[in-house]
Amino acid sequence: MNLSRQLIFLLPLLAVLPGYLGIEGVYYSYVLAEILSAALAIILMVRYFRQANLKISAEIVSQ
């Protein structure tokens, strides 16, 4: 997840936001990268647990 925060989110945001917001764009880039990284982690966790739950349910039914 750290890699996604820094490479996928932070670097592009650092390239774009300072052009619009000046020095504040640098600060907002970090905060926004953290929020987007947390959202990605939540989405991945929900998908994983749904798949795991379906596998457990299928095993219970097959018994």
pLDDT one-digit tens code per residue, 1-40:
667 667 889 999 999 999 999 999 999 999 999 999 999 9
Tokens 């990268």 -> residue:
33
For residues 14 and 30, what is the distance between their CA atoms, to the nearest angstrom?
8
pLDDT value, residue 58: 64
pLDDT value, residue 57: 64
